[in-house]
Every structure is written in structure tokens, then in C-alpha cells.
């Protein structure tokens, strides 16, 4: 079992973590999060890999507004796609949502009913576009 996950598809490396100190010739003490409190914080060099900086890992602190309990709420920007998943007895409508401060690749699929109840303003713009497209389609059929 590797860091709480088992199987051959478990991640080989997790992190990055800050190096707190060097312990001996070939070991380092890392600052691990509380979720890894059961893991010993000292690692041999062979178990570590150099962190290569990536700009997608950096979140600008100016754009994130934290609440008094140090949480923040994601805000949706746009609906990118729609789909209906068919189960045996019912159909579930889903929408692909792009979130503020996230790239298009990080968009998530959410249930349409939940998103309509929480963020109705997202659907006002897309519904008006859809109704215009339907009217245009009807006009073309009548000609």
C-alpha cells in the first residue's frame, strides 16, 4: 500500500513538499501535510525526486478571496458542453462547467439541475442563445 492507495495504478510520487532539514549524508526531513501524519517524515535520497517548477501549479494569491474560516468558493464562468447520460430507468442531464481561476482543461461535469438551482445566471445567457437558434432553424424550414 502506497500512501493510502493500493494497486498498480497508484501514484509513484506525491508532493511537492518542502525540505525542512538534511539528516545525515543521504536523508532529508520533509514537511508533510496532516493527512500524511502516519508516514515518517524522513526519507532517503533514493525515494526523492527533484521538483521541476510548473507555472500551472502557482495560484496567484491576489485573485483568491478567503473567507473567515480560510475557505474559498469556486465560481463558474461558463457552460462549455451538455450531455445526457442514460441509465436503465432515468436520464441525467449534465453540463461541463469552467470555473473561475481554472483552465478549460480543468472543467468539471456537474448535474444540470444542481447548477441551475445554485447558479441560474449561467443558464439565462445560454437559454437565450438556444431559443434564437431554434427560431432561426424554424425560419429556414418554413422557406
Q: Are 80 and 104 in contact (CB under 8 A)?
A: yes
- 43 is a domain residue: yes
CA atoms within 13 A on the CB side of 115: 24
Q: Are 18 and 25 in contact (CB under 8 A)?
A: no
Torsion 41-42-47-49 (CA) sign: positive
Residue range 44-73: mean pLDDT, rounded: 76
What distance in Å separates the CA atoms of residue 70 and residue 97, rounded to the nearest whole number? 24
Residue 95 DSSP one-character state: E
Residue 42 phi, psi dihedral angles, 5° rounding: -105, 130
Q: Where are the alpha helices (DSSP H) in the chain?
A: 112-118, 121-142
- 39 is a domain residue: yes
What distance in Å separates the CA atoms of residue 100 and residue 117, rounded to the nearest whole number? 19
pTM over 0.85: no
Residue range 24-45: mean pLDDT, rounded: 90
For 62-101, what is each residue's pLDDT tens digit? Answer: 566 777 777 777 888 888 999 999 988 999 999 999 988 7
- 139 is a domain residue: no
- 8 is a domain residue: no
- 29 is a domain residue: yes
Q: What is the CATH number of the domain that holds 87?
A: 2.40.50
- 98 is a domain residue: yes
Residue 63 DSSP one-character state: T
How many separate domains does the chain show? 2
Same domain, 47 and 80: no
Domain, as residue range, for 43: 18-52
- 130 is a domain residue: no
- 80 is a domain residue: yes
Amino acid at each position: 500500500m502506497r500512501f493510502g492507495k493500493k494497486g498498480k495504478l497508484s501514484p509513484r510520487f506525491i508532493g511537492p513538499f518542502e525540505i525542512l532539514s538534511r539528516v545525515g549524508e543521504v536523508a532529508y526531513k520533509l514537511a508533510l501535510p496532516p493527512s500524511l501524519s502516519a508516514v515518517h517524515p524522513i526519507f532517503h535520497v533514493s525515494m526523492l525526486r527533484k521538483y521541476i517548477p510548473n507555472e500551472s501549479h502557482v495560484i496567484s494569491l491576489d485573485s483568491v478571496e478567503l473567507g473567515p474560516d480560510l475557505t474559498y468558493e469556486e465560481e463558474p464562468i461558463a457552460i462549455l458542453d451538455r450531455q445526457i447520460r442514460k441509465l436503465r430507468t432515468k436520464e441525467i442531464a449534465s453540463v461541463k462547467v469552467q470555473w473561475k481561476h481554472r483552465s478549460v482543461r480543468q472543467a468539471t461535469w456537474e448535474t444540470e439541475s444542481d447548477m441551475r438551482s445554485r447558479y441560474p445566471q449561467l443558464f439565462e445567457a445560454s437559454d437565450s442563445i438556444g431559443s434564437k437558434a431554434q427560431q432561426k432553424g424554424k425560419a429556414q424550414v418554413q422557406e
